[in-house]
Amino acid sequence: MKKIAIVSFKGEMPCFVHALLNVWNYHERGYEVALIVEGASAARIADISSAPQGKLWKKIKEAGLIRSVCKACAAQMGTLAEAEAQGLPIDAALSGHSDLEVFSAAGFEIILF
């Protein structure tokens, strides 16, 4: 099975939504998928649930596809408490940030958004 890790960095809602759409598309086509929320995209944790794409976010969460939320970036964007409240996997393994190497080592192809 092919493995895809989608790393969302940009904070604009359309960029974040495109990452989500691709995560779900790969998942539906049978890929092993990991969503990694980094950088300014961590700000979207606070408002994606109430956005028109909130149902997609919920499906992705329920499917266990969110594999890492950067602790430092979520703290900087003011969404760390919300990420924790949503039960998202917080990662600080790389000097406070998500460690992408673990995904590379596991055979994931990394795509940046």
| pTM of the full structure | 0.96
Looking at domain 3-112, what is its CATH homologous superfamily? DsrEFH-like (3.40.1260.10)
Domain ranges in the chain?
A: 3-112
Task: Output the CA torsion sign for 7, 11, 15, 21.
Answer: positive
pLDDT tens track for 39-79? 999 999 999 999 999 999 999 999 999 999 999 999 999 99
pLDDT tens track for 22-41? 999 999 999 999 999 999 99
Q: What is the C-alpha to C-alpha distance for residues 46 and 28, in angstroms, rounded to an integer?
A: 26
* Range 75-97 average pLDDT: 97
Reported as a pLDDT band with limits 50, 70 and 90, residue 1 is: confident
Beta strand extents in 1-113 (DSSP E only): 3-8, 32-37, 66-70, 90-91, 109-112
